[in-house]
Amino acid sequence: MKAGIVFTGTGPILILTSYESFTDKKFVEKLSAKGIKKFIAYELPFDKVKEKYGVHFSVVMGDLSETDDLRVLDYNGHHIFLNFSFADMGNPIHYEP
């Protein structure tokens, strides 16, 4: 499982995914189906996301399939930025078709 901040044209979202990477073809197709054609993603430490989001994390994880799936954990950019520092973020992953 991975957690990451995905910066889109409308702002950042925090996602959980069972895909191997943020550039996995099926992951990109799922985002594209939601209108997200290009993005910048930063992986976050999974345990830190779990700790910060507590019960909400558990509820969302209960909905998440172990294979080929993703869920939005948070879409409030202000809240996401309050919870994580830039030091928490991995290297940027750029995707553009």
The per-residue pLDDT for 95 is 96
Residues belonging to the chain: 97
Residue 59, C-beta contacts closer than 8 angstroms, at least 6 positions apart: none
Where residue 56 falls among pLDDT bands split at 50, 70, 90? confident
Strands in 1-97 per DSSP E: 2-8, 11-17, 39-44, 70-74, 93-95
pTM of the model: 0.87
The alpha carbons of the chain give a radius of gyration, in whole angstroms, of: 12
> Per the structure, how many domains does the chain have?
1
Where residue 63 falls among pLDDT bands split at 50, 70, 90? low
- Which domain does 74 fall in, by range? 2-95
Average pLDDT over residues 8-32: 92
DSSP annotation of 20: S
The per-residue pLDDT for 67 is 55
